[in-house]
Structure 1
């Protein structure tokens, strides 16, 4: 077989692999806490840790070194399209919610405690 024939067979084989790769279905892989803005809007300064867990659930992982900082993270690695990532970081002081930061909009009433 000539060099051109070997080259042609190699190109067809490699092209077939990439075509086969696109035909194989791969599932979307969600990881973490899926949160929606309407759930985040229920947060208020001064909420206890138990109230936050009731509203949002437990955070993805507990931080052994800083139990006053909770990180809610959600990542989606879709089969097609762009990756999706949202993060919410809550800080506590004396087991009461004090701070809010991340990819979600801060609730309008966040700075108004629940008891008012």
Structure 2
């Protein structure tokens, strides 16, 4: 076989691999805690840790050195399109919710305690 024939076979083989790669189905991979704004709207200052777990679930990342900071993180790595990532960081003081920050809007009545 001539050099051109070897080259042609190599090009066809490599091109076939790239076509095969596009035909294989790859699943979307969700990781973490999926939260919606409706869930975050239920948070109030002064909530206990147990109440927060009831509303949002257990956080995906617990820091053994700082138990007053909880991180809820959700990441979706879709097969096609852009990555989707949401983060919510809660701050506690004496096992009571003090504040939060992240990719969600703070509810208007967040600063009203539940017992009022």
Aligned counterparts of 1:107 and 1:15: Cα–Cα separation in 2: 53
After superposition, where does 1:6-21 map in structure 2 within 5 Å?
Answer: 6-21=6-21
Cα deviation, 1:92-114, whole Å, max 9, x if unaligned, reads 00000001100111111111111
**Could you report, residue by residue, the CA deviation over 1:30-86 in whole angstroms, capped at 9, with x for unpaired residues?**
110000000000001111101000000000022100000000000111111111110
CA RMSD of aligned residues (A): 0.8
Matched, 1:77 2:85: no
Aligned length: 116
TM-score (norm 2): 0.96
CA distance in 1, matches of 2:77, 2:34: 13
Where in structure 1 are there 5+ consecutive unaligned residues? none
Rounded Cα–Cα distance in structure 2 between residues aligned with 1:20 and 1:107: 48
Q: How does 1:100-115 map to 2 (within 5 A)?
A: 100-115=100-115
1:1-116 alignment runs, 5 A limit:
1-116=1-116
Runs of 4+ in 1 over 2 A off after TM superposition: none
The two structures have a TM-score, normalised by structure 1, of 0.96
CA distance in 2, matches of 1:56, 1:85: 17
SS of equivalent to 2:71: strand
